[in-house]
Amino acid sequence: MATTLEQLRFDNTYARLPAGFGARVHPSPFPDAKLVSVNPAALKLLDLTPEEARRPEFVAAMGGEAPLPGMEPFAMVYAGHQFGVYVPRLGDGRALLLGEVRNAAGEKWDLHLKGGGPTPFSRGGDGRAVLRSTIREYLCGEALHGLGIPTTRGLGILGSQAPVYRETVETGAMLVRMAPSHVRFGTFEFFHYTEQREHVATLADHVIAEHFPHLAGQEGRYARFYTEVVERTARLMAQWQAVGFAHGVMNTDNMSILGLTLDYGPFGFLDDFEPGFICNHSDDRGRYAFDQQPRIGLWNLACLGEALLTLISEDEARAALATYQPAFNAHFMDRMRAKLGLREARDEDRELVSDLFARMAEAPVDYTRFFRALDSDARPVRDMFPAPEGFDAWAGRYRARLAAEGSVDAERHARMARVNPRYVLRNWVAQEAISRAEAGDFSLVDRLLGVLSDPFAEHPDAESYAAAPPAWGRHLEVSCSS
């Protein structure tokens, strides 16, 4: 059921939490803000139409110039372990929770404005975002959603000619993003390390009531809540690894309590399969390298567990953490079997996958293109290997494994095409969209939004974006600066 902006129903539960959970802040709108891209699928979650987003009132409301009745802009406070070092106060330095909207289905969505100006947590920063990083987050949120991975999503981009100063002068922009919640591991850490025990409980009760209602009022709810967060995070890490996604900055303040992909910075999808791929050129020690993500997920969960020790016992925390590795292994192998077209779980599957990864890394082979092209006799992918003899040996084992479960080629190919994407947001593709947008042409942003929302389908007008990166697009460096 379509609605208008003025009919949005706000239910701002977070802004009504006790003093100390953040600060009420008015956004600092751009004087020349305009809508440059809008996500129809995200609008639909709010019961809004694209036509409604084209009204001047949409930009005025979402950009902070004329907030809608019911909005209560609020900057959330949190802390976090950044590259392994605890930072006692971070918070939404350039983002504001505009309000929480309930749609006709009863679902609640945070509307979060990123780049809306300084807040008490800006730490001397300008509170702005640049067009470059805004486009990357906007597109990648939709890319992961299209891949079936939990994530925040972009509602739209508000552009401006206002200069924003980073390493160079860049164009400013705002991202309106959505999620059921923006509570982070670091939100709990802030109250734990400032010894506000009552607020650790208040926050836990709030998150449980809003997002884990089956646990509300139950005995042992805090330990069960933590165990569910462990499981959600393990599943998220398995999903990232299976599609070849590297987040780049897995600080605890960038970890969602709901197991969502949160805060896109120097992310990257694998081109050539490189287990130690580092997508953030600021990460000189490789703490957040691609193959380290599952380990860091567990480390971050241990930090969260420590922050909950006023609510759960150490034994309960250890028991919850002990479920992480089995959950990760199970989810990851389920996804890899699906990528290989296997229907049954067998003991030898882990060795089959690890041996394949070793062959792919030796070549190296393009991760996404390999799985999209793989079939029973492996002819489409054999030529990807400069020295294919090792791959031939693996392919023989793969064919035998398929035969052992009576795999039918046509059925398997159809299944594999539904789980192995043709398109991911490669860095070179994102950079091409950014370059055009900085010149005033946002058509590629909109085009890619549609392609990435359905990455398993054939898009004849976007075939070049399914290719391996051109020479200029290989090994692009991306940093945290945005």
Task: Show Cβ contacts of residue 162 under 8 Å, excluding neighbours closer than 6 positions.
Answer: 30, 31, 32, 128, 171, 172
Q: Is 28 helix (H, G, I), strand (E, B) or coil?
A: coil
For residue 482, count other CB atoms closer than 10 A to its CB: 22
Long-range CB contacts (within 8 A, 24+) of 393-398: 394/352, 394/355, 394/356, 394/359, 397/352, 397/355, 398/340, 398/352, 398/356
Burial class for 310, CB neighbours closer than 10 Å (0-12, 13-18, 19+): middle
CB 9 within 8 A of CB 1: no
Counting Cβ atoms within 10 Å, is residue 436 exposed (0-12), middle (13-18) or buried (19+)? Answer: middle
Helix (H) or strand (E) run with residue 172 in it: strand 169-179
Return the DSSP state at 452: H
The residues near 351 (Cβ < 8 Å, ≥ 6 apart) are none
324-340: b (≥16 Cβ within 10 Å) or e: beebbeebbbebbbbbb
Q: What are phi and psi of 280, to 5 degrees?
A: -110, 110
> What is the SS3 assignment for 20?
coil
Task: Tell me the DSSP string of 382-438.
Answer: HTT-SSTHHHHHHHHHHHHHHHHTT--HHHHHHHHHTTS-S----HHHHHHHHHHHH
Q: What is the DSSP string of 178-206?
A: EES---BHHHHHHHHHTT-HHHHHHHHHH
Q: For residue 136, give the 3-state DSSP assignment.
A: helix
Residue 383 a catalytic site member: no
Beta bridge partners of 153: 178
The catalytically annotated residue of 47, 110, 253, 366 is 253
Q: Which of 65, 62, 45, 46 is nearest to 54 (CA)?
A: 62
For residue 427, give the nearest of 370, 371, 479 by alpha carbon.
479
Query: Among all residues, which ones are annotated catalytic?
Result: 253
